[in-house]
Amino acid sequence: MSAPPSLARRIVAEGLGTALLIAVVIGTGIHASRLSGGDATWTLLAQSLAGGAGLLALLTVFAPVSGAHLNPAVTLSALLRGGLRGHEALAYQAAQAVGAALGVAAAHAMFGMPAWAAGTHAATGPALWWSEALATFGLIGVGIACGRHAPKQLPLVVAAYIAAGYWFTSSSSLANPALALACALTDGPSGIRPGDVPGYMLAQLVGTLLATPLFNWLMGVDAAPALASGTTIAPAQAVPMHRQAS
């Protein structure tokens, strides 16, 4: 049996994977909005299809290295379940934050935009916070349940859930603090005012803290060491594109 990937390799995988994920999300939003002439329905359709496909690919590629969290909420859940040590979780989350910023810059460069610009779209209030809490709750639950009973299907199942999340939630199911950070760094279609982002992150934290023990109990899981070895995954993303129509 080969040795598990080193922490350095896992950190690079999380940073690179998160950057590519953010580039997919932000880049799709910009390109789809331009091609559709700003039509929110067509833009959201493009985002859900491209976002789900990109996520599926990235989960499949990076799962054997780091578990393909690509999401600080997933990393927190792994920590709570015993799949990561404290310093490993902090390293993962730092890499994800850096990856989010780099992913925005990469997407902006493709469309001739400044590397970063503060989001200007207002996105706050109980309805959106509830949406993010529920979306993250579902994401963490899907990851735990599928990782327990159908680990080989996990990338496809998680990607399908996120693609659906674009449509069934009022927030378009970011369910990912790294993505929320990225949305604060873009003034494109996916942008969110920086002052509104903490509300999203707090809601995502609540969803994670509620889902992790509940789904552990439901699925009969006491701990999840597989999260650290890459055989169990559960990330997230999505963009608040349709809110522009409101």
Cα distance between residue 74 and residue 133, in whole Å = 13
Question: Tell me, what's the pLDDT at 90?
Answer: 98
Question: Tell me, what's the pLDDT at 221?
Answer: 73
**CATH entry, 7-245, from 1.20.1560.10, 1.10.620.20, 1.20.1080.10, 2.60.120.10:** 1.20.1080.10
Question: Tell me, what's the pLDDT at 1?
Answer: 62
- The more confident residue out of 76 and 222 is 76
Q: Residue 21 above 90 pLDDT?
A: yes
Token pair in block for residue 166: 């674009």
List pLDDT tens digits, range 51-103: 999 999 999 999 999 999 999 999 999 999 999 999 999 999 999 999 999 99
Identify the residue whose tokens are 């609540």: 206
**196 secondary structure, DSSP code:** G
Q: How far is CA 82 from CA 67, 75, 79, 222, 231, in A?
A: 14, 11, 5, 9, 14
Coil, strand or helix at 151: helix
Cα distance between residue 209 and residue 151, in whole Å = 22
**Of residues 66, 69, 64, 65, the one with CA closest to residue 21:** 69
**Of residues 202, 199, 182, the one with CA closest to residue 190:** 182
Enter the pTM of the model: 0.90
Give mean pLDDT, residues 34-44.
Answer: 93
Question: Tell me, what's the pLDDT at 2?
Answer: 76
Round the average pLDDT of the chain to a whole number and report it. Answer: 90
Q: At 227, is the pLDDT very low, low, confident or very high (cuts 50, 70, 90)?
A: very low
Question: Tell me, what's the pLDDT at 168?
Answer: 97
